[in-house]
């Protein structure tokens, strides 16, 4: 039997001064071990939803749980089991790639020997060895994205949240990131990611939910959605249901 890793019930979030809620009565479940895509145009509420799940954004009403733990009351326990890759690069620009990895690994409480081993493995996996001594500010967008992803994975989370993880990334770096995400999914990690890249989502995701104006427009596996709506691709479905260009 598949258990829910994420359970959101009637979530609403309105930012101060906003005329309308960013998330409006959202109800959503993500099964353990799923590769789940939260898709939609800018302003749909995707990033706000991820921010609530990560404990970075207070919300008005609703119930939000990760692995059965309440986000409002048990966020300390939740943080130990999640990894987060935000849309904006979250690294110290004046530190080198190597220094950033050791700094964030230390914050996560990973024993030094284990941390060195994991960093060495990821550095080799993502072909970062020639760039370790460079200040992060001078790395390419793709390199920064890869370092940010490694930071989120060092403590071996059960759930990985990614907000537009391949945006602005060169083709080679994008393929490396996608390949590793597929490997993590095969190993049993629950992955929740937002994206504007419908072709990428169609390839990666076991389940997707299309958001617009803070609500779920439709959800299901990519194959189910395309069969049910008679559309040829998620991109066509996106434009039909939201009226937005991808």
pLDDT, tens only, 104-118: 999 999 999 999 999
Are the C-beta atoms of 126 and 153 separated by less than 8 Å?
A: no
Give the model's pLDDT for residue 244: 58
Give the model's pLDDT for residue 2: 59
For CA atoms 213, 215, 217, 222, the dihedral sign is positive
Give the model's pLDDT for residue 196: 81
Give the model's pLDDT for residue 106: 94
What is the rounded CA–CA span in Å between residue 155 and residue 101? 11
Q: Which two tokens stand for residue 176?
A: 């490396």
Give the model's pLDDT for residue 243: 63
Low-confidence ranges of the chain (pLDDT < 70): 1-2, 243-246
Give the model's pLDDT for residue 41: 87
Largest CA distance in the chain: 54
What is the rounded CA–CA span in Å between residue 31 and residue 49? 16
DSSP one-letter code for 3: P
Helix, strand, coil percentages in the chain from 3-state DSSP, rounded to 5: 40, 25, 35
Q: Model's pTM, two decimal places? A: 0.92
Are the C-beta atoms of 11 and 72 separated by less than 8 Å?
A: no
């Amino acid at each position: 039997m598949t258990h829910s890793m994420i359970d959101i019930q009637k979530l609403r979030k309105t930012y101060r001064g906003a005329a309308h809620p960013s998330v409006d009565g959202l109800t959503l479940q993500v099964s353990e071990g799923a590769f789940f895509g939260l898709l939609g145009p800018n302003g749909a509420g995707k990033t706000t939803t991820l921010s609530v799940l990560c404990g970075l954004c207070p919300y008005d009403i609703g119930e939000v749980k990760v692995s059965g733990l309440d986000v409002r009351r048990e966020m300390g326990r939740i943080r130990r089991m999640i990894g987060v890759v935000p849309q904006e690069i979250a690294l110290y620009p004046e530190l080198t790639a190597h220094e950033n990895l050791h700094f964030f690994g230390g914050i996560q409480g990973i024993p030094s020997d284990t941390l060195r081993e994991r960093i060495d493995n990821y550095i080799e996996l993502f072909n970062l060895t020639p760039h370790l001594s460079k200040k992060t500010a001078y790395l390419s967008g793709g390199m920064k994205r890869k370092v940010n992803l490694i930071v989120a994975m060092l403590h071996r989370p059960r759930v990985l949240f990614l907000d537009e993880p391949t945006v602005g990334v060169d083709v080679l770096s994008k393929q490396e990131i996608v390949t590793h995400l597929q490997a993590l999914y095969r190993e049993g990690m629950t992955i929740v990611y937002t994206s504007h890249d419908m072709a990428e989502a169609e390839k990666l995701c076991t389940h997707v939910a299309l958001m617009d104006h803070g609500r779920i427009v439709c959800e299901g596996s990519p194959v189910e959605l395309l069969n049910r709506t008679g559309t040829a691709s998620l991109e066509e479905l996106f434009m039909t249901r939201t009226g937005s260009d991808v």
